[in-house]
Amino acid sequence: MDSSKGNAAISDALVLFGVTGDLAHKKIFPALYAMAKRGALKVPVVGVASSKWSLAKLRRHATDSIRQAGKIDDRDALEQLLSRLQYVSGNYKDPGTFRALKKALGGAARPAHYLAIPPALFGTVIDGLGAAGLAENGRLIVEKPFGRDLASARKLNRIAHSVFAEDAIFRIDHFLGKEAIMNILYFRFANSFLEPIWNRNYVASVQITLSENFGVESRGAFYETAGCMRDVIQNHLFQIVALLAMEPPSYRGFGAVHGETADVLRAMCPLKPEDVVRGQYAGYRKEEGVARDSDVETFCALRLCIDSWRWAGVPWYLRSGKCLAESAAEVLVQLKPPPQRLFEDSAPMTHRANYLRFRLSPNSAVALAARVKRVGIDFLGDQRELYLLDQQPDELSPYERLLGDAMSGNDALFTTQDGVEAAWAAIDPVLSQHRRVAPYKRGSWGPKEADALIAADGFWCNPES
């Protein structure tokens, strides 16, 4: 597939706004180290932040980040990364900060600007880059969430487009960089046996679970501004839905893929309060930075309908949450039972009918479940899973892959403006119009109301360790 944008020259510098922050420490520096180990990091890396740090402190910070993410097993690669680091300290509202950045970039003509900063600062930095002449031939890499509702997403797009062309904007959702997510697209369209049954005639329902067994930890203040719907559902889970539900692309290019996934998001029926269950784990209101009367959801389950020829009438059940029983991500495509019940043990209410299961994390697998007869004279059987794919070694981490792709102009794994706005449009009605959160115990699978939501179509399939 063709996967490059029109602005396809490789970036000759990487600028990291928010270089002293949490995202850079946890994800970006380890990804840069991995790129250096592969010989893929060949450009200067200029960090920008308001902290009054020295370059030596930034290098120690980067080394600590890499050590915490895993062992340092290539000293030459580490030294190469550290030698490429530069640092600019300054206020993002101060034009002098961008003049200092321009000086630090030297002769770089095609910098990639990564905004690893709070979304409230996106507009300030984008305007500063434009005013300083740092946007021409450059790229903009933006972390999700891209807006916090439809109106703010549109406003942010207008700001970005006032300085950068659309083919120079790369909206990162790190979930799309995971090997298991990419395999959904490949598995669907590299195999012919799925297409005849991949529709409302044979699929009874689809459920997607993204669960975490830990709480908000030190991110309570952030979570109070976001909640599970904004933090996970609108981006991660909707992108999975789009890959599962999209029509075959009309040509071999990721532009066609982006068009089809955006069509799925546009076909989502706007959610109603009765389609959504919001939960909050016990003790959340005692977390640092959380309001004592908070109504922010740490769990969300919803019933989604896609108004298309292929999926009309098929319910999609999505859920995600913190402090749940397991940390896992999984898709279960539930097929309809055979039209005639020939055997006693094939009753749909007794056993789950055939299904296809995509295990996305912590390990990846694709499994097809079918019933097979037990040995003996009785016609009794068991459901068995056939594993079609298991974890593969030497996978690139999502940030390593996405950083490299953005700097190369490869837009295959990035979301588009159309897709972002369509996703917000589907969820916008329930961001403010919803029922209060229901409490749930830590280590459970969420509030009992989530079980009632799916009851008409069966029950949740809880991922196992």
Q: Which active-site residues does the annotation give? A: 236
d(CA 306, CA 315): 8
d(CA 442, CA 460): 18
Cβ–Cβ under 8 Å, residues 214 and 229: no
The answer, yes or no, to whether the previous bond of 339 is cis (omega within 30 of 0) is no
The token duo for 109 is 């003509």
The token duo for 164 is 């950068």
* Long-range own/partner contacts, residues 66-72 (CB < 8 A, 24 or more apart): 66/29, 66/30, 66/33, 68/25, 69/26, 69/29, 69/30, 69/33, 70/30, 72/33
d(CA 240, CA 45): 32
Radius of gyration of the chain (CA): 23
The answer, yes or no, to whether the previous bond of 145 is cis (omega within 30 of 0) is yes
Provide the pairing of β-strand 203-211 with 328-335.
antiparallel
Q: Which residues contact 417 (CB under 8 A, 6 or more apart)?
A: 157, 166, 169, 171
Dihedral, CA atoms, 132, 136, 137, 141, nearest 10 degrees?
60
Residue 372 phi, psi dihedral angles, 5° rounding: -130, 150
The closest of 252, 267, 225 to 418, measured between CA atoms, is 267
Provide the pairing of β-strand 299-304 with 316-321.
antiparallel
Cβ–Cβ under 8 Å, residues 12 and 108: yes
